Amino acid sequence: MQRTMNKFLIEKGLLELTRANESGFEQQEPIKTKENLTIQLLDTGVLVVEPDTPNDSDLIISSGVHGNETAPIEMVDELVKKIINGSLKVRARTLFIIGNAVAMNQSERFVIENMNRLFNGKHQGKDHHEAERAKKLENYVTDFFNKRSDARRFHYDLHTAIRGSKYKKFAIYPFPDGRDWDKHQLEFFLASGVNTVLLGHQPSGTFSYFSSHQFSAHAFTVELGKVKPFGENNMQEFSAMMQNLERLIQGETIPTQPFNNSDFNLFQVKDELVKQSDNFKLNIADDVENFTDFEEGFVLTEDIDGGYTVQKTGEAIVFPNAKIPNGQRAGLVVEKTQL
Ligand SMILES: [Zn+2]
């Protein structure tokens, strides 16, 4: 059985292996390569690669936390293939993740519940598929980061969005728990084709916040464009990010330019739109793009509490969703900011 999994990985790659084993499997025997790497399948969609003499970076590249977000899954698959065939050298310890194989096989975002709300312990008390997988992924991340205490820690959780966005690619910088926003990381994103960043305003259940909060990792949710089925992604659109991820894996310096606010669209959260009652109305089209902005005085929502009227021209909306139960968040009002 063990030999079969490793053989399957080597012959067909991580994506095909994960697709064929959605419900998980036991940790497999490590594979030693002639490039002095140890490659080990820890579970379905979870692969750790460790060089005999690693540099000081521990890197997590995760994908498929939402099962239908195929481009990041294809990116992870490609990186792993290049490592296995020896064309990509490895200097950083790297953990690769395809998050939700069951949802992936159904071409769905999730089966029971959005997994990216279930990290940082928010899976507790829930026994469905996504909650169990979120708990397991937390454990793999914990084991990975805890193996070294002195390494620089990075976690890029790659996504594509259902909704269009005024800024096609953007990163969500998790709430830093009092630490400074890291401008070098923003420089990395700029060099990787991502110049829009939403600064997190509070703790959350996202995978990236888990790594940031628990391990002080430089962790981000990265939205790379629009959701498409497998095979329909134009991988050229992701080439800048791919190239820089390869550089991180190889331990190469990434050419960046010094941080300058004018190179970025930085947004902070101004308000949360909470649906208070059945009278709630969100006065925008269903397909409005993320970061669409409004004029002062525009009545964005109506509700029993008076709703939300735009206070200043330029306020924008992200993640609008009116089809939610009362008491839940129907979107975020954001405004431009500088660091
Ligand atoms: Zn996503």
Tens of pLDDT, residues 133-187: 999 999 999 999 999 999 999 999 999 988 889 999 999 999 999 999 999 999 9
Q: What CATH number labels 271-337? A: 2.40.50.630
- Provide CATH code, domain 2-250: 3.40.630.10
Q: How far is the CA of 2 from the centre of ligand 1 (A)?
A: 32
Both tokens assigned to 290: 């993320």
With residue 302 as reference, give the H or E element that holds it.
strand 299-302
Question: Do residues 174 and 208 lie in contact, with contact meaning Cβ atoms separated by under 8 Å?
Answer: yes
Please list all protein residues whose beta carbon sits less than 5 angstroms from ligand 1, which is an ion. Answer: 66, 69, 159
Nearest to 205 by CA among 88, 78, 110: 110
User: 107-128, pLDDT tens digit by residue?
Assistant: 999 999 999 999 999 999 999 9
pLDDT at 16 over 60: yes
Distance 161 CA to ligand 1 centre (A): 6
Selected catalytic residue, list 50, 130, 223, 246: 223
Q: Give the position of tokens 């990434």.
A: 254
Task: Inform me whether the pLDDT recorded for 310 exceeds 70.
Answer: yes
At 244 the pLDDT is 98
Q: What is the pLDDT of residue 155?
A: 98
Encode pLDDT of 75-112 as tens digits: 999 999 999 999 999 999 999 999 999 999 999 999 99
pLDDT in tens, 267-276: 999 999 999 9
Cβ atoms of 220 and 157 within 8 Å: the answer is yes
- Measured CA to CA in angstroms, residue 190 lies from 94, 162, 171, 179, 262 at distances of 22, 23, 10, 21, 11
- Cα 65 to ligand 1 centroid, rounded to whole Å: 7
Domain boundaries, the chain: 2-250, 271-337
pLDDT score at 106: 97
Residue 55 CA to ligand 1 center (angstroms) comes to 30
> CB-based contacts of 278: which residues, under 8 Å, 6+ apart?
326
Interval between CA 281 and ligand 1 midpoint (Å): 25
Please report, in angstroms and rounded to a whole number, the separation of the first and last CA atoms in the chain: 53
Residue 24: its pLDDT value, please? 94
Residue 1 in this model has a pLDDT that exceeds 80: no
Based on the residue annotation, tell me whether 296 is a catalytic residue of this protein: no
Ligand 1 centroid to Cα of residue 69, in Å, is 6
Contacts of 283 (CB under 8 A, 6+ apart): 298, 299, 300, 301, 302
| Ligand 1 centroid distance, CA of 304 (Å) | 32
Model confidence at 2, pLDDT cuts 50, 70, 90, reads low
For residue 163, what pLDDT is reported?
A: 85
Mean pLDDT computed over 190-194: 97
Per residue in 20-75, pLDDT (tens digit) is: 999 999 999 999 999 999 999 999 999 999 999 999 999 999 999 999 999 999 99
